[in-house]
Amino acid sequence: MIDLHCHSNYSDGRLSPQELSVLASKNGITMLALTDHDTLSGVHEIKALLEPAITLIDGIEISVRWKKHDIHILGLNVNTSDPGLRQLILSQQHARRARALEIGYQLSLVGVEQAFEKACVIAGHDHIARPHFAQVLVAENKAHDLGVAFKKYLARGKSAYVETNWVTLDKAVEIIKQAKGHAVIAHPKKYKLTNTKLTELIAEFKTSGGDGLEVISGDTSLKDSNQLAGLAQRFNLLSSTGSDFHGFKNSSVMLGRQRELPVNCVPIWHQWTS
Ligand code: AMP
Ligand code: MN
Ligand code: MN
Ligand code: MN
Protein backbone atom coordinates (compact mmCIF):
# COMPACT_ATOMS: atom_id res chain seq x y z
CA MET A 1 0.00 0.00 0.00
CA ILE A 2 1.12 3.50 -0.85
CA ASP A 3 -0.03 6.51 1.14
CA LEU A 4 1.29 9.92 0.11
CA HIS A 5 -0.74 12.16 2.43
CA CYS A 6 -1.10 11.97 6.20
CA HIS A 7 -0.64 14.08 9.33
CA SER A 8 1.13 13.78 12.66
CA ASN A 9 0.70 15.77 15.85
CA TYR A 10 3.29 18.24 14.57
CA SER A 11 0.30 19.70 12.70
CA ASP A 12 -3.36 18.75 13.23
CA GLY A 13 -3.03 14.95 13.38
CA ARG A 14 -3.47 13.06 16.65
CA LEU A 15 -0.72 10.49 16.37
CA SER A 16 2.95 11.11 17.02
CA PRO A 17 5.49 10.11 14.34
CA GLN A 18 6.27 7.10 16.56
CA GLU A 19 2.61 6.00 16.63
CA LEU A 20 2.27 6.64 12.89
CA SER A 21 5.30 4.51 12.13
CA VAL A 22 3.84 1.60 14.11
CA LEU A 23 0.51 1.98 12.27
CA ALA A 24 2.29 2.15 8.90
CA SER A 25 3.91 -1.24 9.57
CA LYS A 26 0.65 -2.72 10.86
CA ASN A 27 -1.23 -1.54 7.76
CA GLY A 28 1.35 -2.91 5.34
CA ILE A 29 2.44 0.46 3.96
CA THR A 30 5.38 0.22 1.55
CA MET A 31 5.73 3.93 0.73
CA LEU A 32 4.67 6.76 3.02
CA ALA A 33 4.69 10.53 2.74
CA LEU A 34 4.11 12.44 5.96
CA THR A 35 2.63 15.77 4.81
CA ASP A 36 1.99 17.99 7.80
CA HIS A 37 0.58 21.48 7.24
CA ASP A 38 3.42 23.96 6.69
CA THR A 39 6.01 22.06 8.74
CA LEU A 40 8.69 19.41 8.18
CA SER A 41 9.29 18.66 11.88
CA GLY A 42 7.45 15.32 11.79
CA VAL A 43 9.31 14.22 8.67
CA HIS A 44 12.65 14.67 10.40
CA GLU A 45 11.44 12.63 13.36
CA ILE A 46 9.73 9.76 11.52
CA LYS A 47 12.80 9.19 9.33
CA ALA A 48 14.58 7.36 12.13
CA LEU A 49 11.47 5.44 13.23
CA LEU A 50 10.01 3.78 10.11
CA GLU A 51 11.07 0.21 9.52
CA PRO A 52 13.57 -0.04 6.64
CA ALA A 53 11.06 -1.78 4.33
CA ILE A 54 8.98 1.40 4.21
CA THR A 55 10.17 4.10 1.81
CA LEU A 56 9.68 7.55 3.29
CA ILE A 57 8.86 10.35 0.87
CA ASP A 58 9.67 13.72 2.43
CA GLY A 59 6.50 15.76 2.15
CA ILE A 60 4.60 18.85 3.22
CA GLU A 61 1.10 20.27 2.69
CA ILE A 62 1.23 23.97 1.91
CA SER A 63 -1.78 26.25 2.34
CA VAL A 64 -2.27 28.56 -0.61
CA ARG A 65 -4.55 31.53 -1.23
CA TRP A 66 -6.18 31.33 -4.67
CA LYS A 67 -9.04 33.66 -5.61
CA LYS A 68 -10.41 33.80 -2.04
CA HIS A 69 -10.13 30.02 -1.65
CA ASP A 70 -7.74 28.21 0.68
CA ILE A 71 -6.18 25.53 -1.52
CA HIS A 72 -3.72 22.87 -0.31
CA ILE A 73 -0.67 21.97 -2.38
CA LEU A 74 1.42 18.94 -1.49
CA GLY A 75 5.15 19.11 -1.96
CA LEU A 76 6.28 15.51 -2.38
CA ASN A 77 9.87 14.27 -2.35
CA VAL A 78 11.19 17.71 -1.49
CA ASN A 79 14.71 18.53 -0.41
CA THR A 80 14.02 19.34 3.23
CA SER A 81 17.10 21.53 3.56
CA ASP A 82 16.26 23.78 0.61
CA PRO A 83 16.60 27.40 1.85
CA GLY A 84 13.62 28.69 -0.16
CA LEU A 85 11.36 26.00 1.28
CA ARG A 86 12.58 26.66 4.81
CA GLN A 87 11.92 30.38 4.34
CA LEU A 88 8.40 29.64 3.05
CA ILE A 89 7.69 27.47 6.09
CA LEU A 90 8.69 30.32 8.41
CA SER A 91 6.44 32.83 6.66
CA GLN A 92 3.52 30.37 6.55
CA GLN A 93 3.93 29.70 10.27
CA HIS A 94 3.91 33.43 10.89
CA ALA A 95 0.64 33.79 8.93
CA ARG A 96 -0.82 30.78 10.77
CA ARG A 97 0.01 32.25 14.16
CA ALA A 98 -1.45 35.66 13.31
CA ARG A 99 -4.61 33.93 12.10
CA ALA A 100 -4.85 31.76 15.23
CA LEU A 101 -4.66 34.82 17.49
CA GLU A 102 -7.45 36.46 15.48
CA ILE A 103 -9.60 33.29 15.57
CA GLY A 104 -9.04 33.23 19.34
CA TYR A 105 -10.29 36.81 19.54
CA GLN A 106 -13.33 36.04 17.37
CA LEU A 107 -14.19 33.06 19.59
CA SER A 108 -13.96 35.25 22.69
CA LEU A 109 -16.81 37.27 21.17
CA VAL A 110 -19.04 34.20 21.22
CA GLY A 111 -18.14 33.36 24.80
CA VAL A 112 -15.10 31.08 24.48
CA GLU A 113 -12.32 32.52 26.62
CA GLN A 114 -8.62 31.87 25.98
CA ALA A 115 -9.36 29.74 22.91
CA PHE A 116 -5.87 30.25 21.44
CA GLU A 117 -4.17 29.19 24.68
CA LYS A 118 -6.49 26.18 24.99
CA ALA A 119 -5.79 25.21 21.38
CA CYS A 120 -2.04 25.35 22.11
CA VAL A 121 -2.52 22.97 25.05
CA ILE A 122 -4.43 20.52 22.84
CA ALA A 123 -1.87 20.80 20.04
CA GLY A 124 1.20 20.64 22.26
CA HIS A 125 2.71 23.40 20.10
CA ASP A 126 1.64 26.73 18.64
CA HIS A 127 1.26 25.80 14.96
CA ILE A 128 -2.47 25.96 15.41
CA ALA A 129 -4.85 24.65 12.74
CA ARG A 130 -8.61 24.96 12.76
CA PRO A 131 -9.18 21.37 14.02
CA HIS A 132 -7.45 22.41 17.25
CA PHE A 133 -10.01 25.19 17.68
CA ALA A 134 -12.74 22.70 16.75
CA GLN A 135 -11.57 20.49 19.63
CA VAL A 136 -11.70 23.48 21.99
CA LEU A 137 -15.26 24.22 20.86
CA VAL A 138 -16.29 20.61 21.49
CA ALA A 139 -14.65 20.64 24.93
CA GLU A 140 -16.49 23.88 25.76
CA ASN A 141 -19.83 22.38 24.67
CA LYS A 142 -20.16 24.87 21.82
CA ALA A 143 -20.35 22.06 19.26
CA HIS A 144 -21.24 18.38 19.25
CA ASP A 145 -18.31 17.27 17.13
CA LEU A 146 -15.55 18.69 14.95
CA GLY A 147 -17.76 18.86 11.85
CA VAL A 148 -20.37 20.92 13.71
CA ALA A 149 -17.64 23.23 15.07
CA PHE A 150 -16.58 23.95 11.49
CA LYS A 151 -20.15 24.41 10.30
CA LYS A 152 -21.05 26.76 13.13
CA TYR A 153 -17.86 28.77 13.63
CA LEU A 154 -14.75 27.91 11.63
CA ALA A 155 -15.77 27.31 8.01
CA ARG A 156 -15.49 30.05 5.41
CA GLY A 157 -18.17 32.69 5.98
CA LYS A 158 -18.72 31.80 9.64
CA SER A 159 -17.99 34.15 12.56
CA ALA A 160 -14.55 32.75 13.48
CA TYR A 161 -13.34 32.23 9.91
CA VAL A 162 -10.34 34.47 9.33
CA GLU A 163 -8.77 35.11 5.95
CA THR A 164 -5.11 34.17 5.97
CA ASN A 165 -2.24 35.65 4.07
CA TRP A 166 -1.05 32.32 2.66
CA VAL A 167 1.48 32.10 -0.17
CA THR A 168 0.14 32.34 -3.74
CA LEU A 169 -0.36 29.26 -5.90
CA ASP A 170 2.39 30.02 -8.41
CA LYS A 171 4.90 30.91 -5.69
CA ALA A 172 4.19 27.70 -3.76
CA VAL A 173 4.69 25.61 -6.90
CA GLU A 174 7.87 27.51 -7.76
CA ILE A 175 9.33 26.90 -4.30
CA ILE A 176 8.43 23.19 -4.33
CA LYS A 177 10.05 22.82 -7.76
CA GLN A 178 13.15 24.67 -6.59
CA ALA A 179 13.31 22.25 -3.67
CA LYS A 180 13.37 19.43 -6.27
CA GLY A 181 9.91 18.22 -5.25
CA HIS A 182 6.72 17.38 -7.06
CA ALA A 183 3.77 19.75 -6.57
CA VAL A 184 0.33 18.13 -6.27
CA ILE A 185 -3.12 19.67 -5.73
CA ALA A 186 -4.42 17.97 -2.57
CA HIS A 187 -8.03 16.72 -2.41
CA PRO A 188 -9.28 18.77 -5.41
CA LYS A 189 -12.94 17.98 -4.68
CA LYS A 190 -12.84 19.36 -1.12
CA TYR A 191 -12.87 23.03 -2.09
CA LYS A 192 -16.49 23.06 -3.24
CA LEU A 193 -15.45 24.67 -6.53
CA THR A 194 -17.72 24.55 -9.56
CA ASN A 195 -16.37 22.38 -12.36
CA THR A 196 -15.44 25.55 -14.26
CA LYS A 197 -13.48 26.93 -11.30
CA LEU A 198 -11.82 23.58 -10.62
CA THR A 199 -10.68 23.40 -14.25
CA GLU A 200 -9.41 26.98 -13.97
CA LEU A 201 -7.44 26.07 -10.84
CA ILE A 202 -5.89 23.04 -12.52
CA ALA A 203 -5.04 25.01 -15.68
CA GLU A 204 -3.31 27.73 -13.62
CA PHE A 205 -1.51 25.12 -11.55
CA LYS A 206 -0.27 23.41 -14.72
CA THR A 207 0.91 26.72 -16.19
CA SER A 208 2.79 27.42 -12.93
CA GLY A 209 4.69 24.14 -13.36
CA GLY A 210 2.57 21.88 -11.15
CA ASP A 211 3.03 18.13 -11.50
CA GLY A 212 0.05 16.22 -10.22
CA LEU A 213 -3.46 15.82 -8.88
CA GLU A 214 -4.46 13.85 -5.82
CA VAL A 215 -6.92 11.64 -7.69
CA ILE A 216 -7.60 9.56 -4.60
CA SER A 217 -7.84 11.33 -1.26
CA GLY A 218 -9.28 9.66 1.81
CA ASP A 219 -12.69 8.39 0.94
CA THR A 220 -12.99 10.02 -2.53
CA SER A 221 -16.00 8.52 -4.33
CA LEU A 222 -15.56 6.47 -7.48
CA LYS A 223 -17.37 9.18 -9.43
CA ASP A 224 -15.05 11.93 -8.16
CA SER A 225 -11.89 9.90 -8.70
CA ASN A 226 -12.95 9.14 -12.27
CA GLN A 227 -13.57 12.84 -12.90
CA LEU A 228 -10.15 13.71 -11.44
CA ALA A 229 -8.43 10.98 -13.45
CA GLY A 230 -9.99 12.53 -16.57
CA LEU A 231 -8.71 15.98 -15.58
CA ALA A 232 -5.24 14.60 -14.86
CA GLN A 233 -5.19 13.04 -18.31
CA ARG A 234 -6.48 16.19 -20.00
CA PHE A 235 -3.86 18.41 -18.37
CA ASN A 236 -1.09 15.83 -18.63
CA LEU A 237 -0.65 15.65 -14.86
CA LEU A 238 0.60 12.77 -12.74
CA SER A 239 -1.75 11.13 -10.22
CA SER A 240 -1.26 10.79 -6.48
CA THR A 241 -3.01 8.85 -3.75
CA GLY A 242 -3.25 9.54 -0.04
CA SER A 243 -5.53 8.92 2.90
CA ASP A 244 -5.21 12.41 4.46
CA PHE A 245 -5.26 10.42 7.70
CA HIS A 246 -5.44 12.63 10.83
CA GLY A 247 -6.02 9.87 13.40
CA PHE A 248 -9.43 11.08 14.54
CA LYS A 249 -11.39 8.20 15.99
CA ASN A 250 -14.76 8.86 14.37
CA SER A 251 -13.30 9.38 10.88
CA SER A 252 -13.95 6.87 8.11
CA VAL A 253 -10.41 7.34 6.83
CA MET A 254 -7.55 4.96 7.68
CA LEU A 255 -3.85 5.13 6.84
CA GLY A 256 -3.16 3.36 3.54
CA ARG A 257 -6.74 2.21 3.02
CA GLN A 258 -7.73 4.32 -0.01
CA ARG A 259 -9.27 2.87 -3.15
CA GLU A 260 -7.03 2.03 -6.14
CA LEU A 261 -6.11 4.71 -8.66
CA PRO A 262 -8.18 4.47 -11.87
CA VAL A 263 -6.26 2.58 -14.57
CA ASN A 264 -5.81 5.57 -16.88
CA CYS A 265 -3.67 7.38 -14.28
CA VAL A 266 0.11 7.77 -14.35
CA PRO A 267 1.18 7.20 -10.70
CA ILE A 268 3.44 9.96 -9.42
CA TRP A 269 5.61 7.50 -7.46
CA HIS A 270 6.81 5.91 -10.70
CA GLN A 271 9.04 9.00 -10.95
CA TRP A 272 10.85 7.95 -7.81
CA THR A 273 11.06 4.20 -8.12
CA SER A 274 12.19 3.69 -11.71
P1 AMP B 1 -6.26 25.05 8.60
O2 AMP B 1 -5.01 24.61 7.87
O3 AMP B 1 -5.94 25.56 9.94
O4 AMP B 1 -7.11 25.98 7.80
O5 AMP B 1 -7.12 23.76 8.88
C6 AMP B 1 -7.51 22.99 7.81
C7 AMP B 1 -7.76 21.59 8.31
O8 AMP B 1 -9.02 21.54 8.92
C9 AMP B 1 -7.83 20.57 7.20
O10 AMP B 1 -6.56 20.08 6.92
C11 AMP B 1 -8.69 19.51 7.81
O12 AMP B 1 -7.86 18.70 8.63
C13 AMP B 1 -9.61 20.27 8.73
N14 AMP B 1 -10.96 20.53 8.20
C15 AMP B 1 -11.31 21.37 7.21
N16 AMP B 1 -12.65 21.40 7.04
C17 AMP B 1 -13.16 20.55 7.98
C18 AMP B 1 -14.49 20.15 8.33
N19 AMP B 1 -15.58 20.62 7.69
N20 AMP B 1 -14.63 19.24 9.34
C21 AMP B 1 -13.56 18.78 9.99
N22 AMP B 1 -12.29 19.13 9.70
C23 AMP B 1 -12.09 20.00 8.71
MN1 MN C 1 -5.50 18.91 8.41
MN1 MN D 1 -5.68 19.51 3.17
MN1 MN E 1 -4.01 16.96 4.70
Tell me: the pLDDT tens digits for 52-79?
A: 999 999 999 999 999 999 999 999 999 9
User: What share of the chain in percent tops pLDDT 70?
Assistant: 100
Which residues have a Cβ under 8 Å from the Cβ of 48 and sit 6 or more positions away?
none
Q: Tell me the backbone φ, ψ of residue 269, rounded to 5 degrees.
A: -70, -15
Answer whether residue 80 shows pLDDT above 60.
yes
Any idea which ligand is nearest the CA of 71?
A: 3
> Crossing angle of helices 115-123/130-139, nearest 10°?
110
Whole-number Å distance, alpha carbon 42 to ligand 2 midpoint, is: 14
Mutate to test the pocket of ligand 1, among 9, 10, 11, 12 (most ligand atoms within 8 A of CB): 12
pLDDT attached to residue 234:
98
What's the rounded Cα separation, in Å, for the pair 112 and 114?
7
Given the CA of residue 96, which atom of ligand 1 is nearest to it?
Answer: 3
| Predicted confidence band of residue 19 (pLDDT cuts 50, 70, 90) | very high
Whole-number Å distance, alpha carbon 132 to ligand 1 midpoint, is: 9
Answer whether residue 273 shows pLDDT above 80.
no
Whole-number Å distance, alpha carbon 274 to ligand 1 midpoint, is: 35
User: 146 CB less than 6 Å from ligand 1?
Assistant: yes
Mean pLDDT of 33-51: 97
Strand partners, 241: 216
What's the rounded Cα separation, in Å, for the pair 71 and 61?
10
pLDDT attached to residue 274:
57
Answer whether residue 177 shows pLDDT above 70.
yes
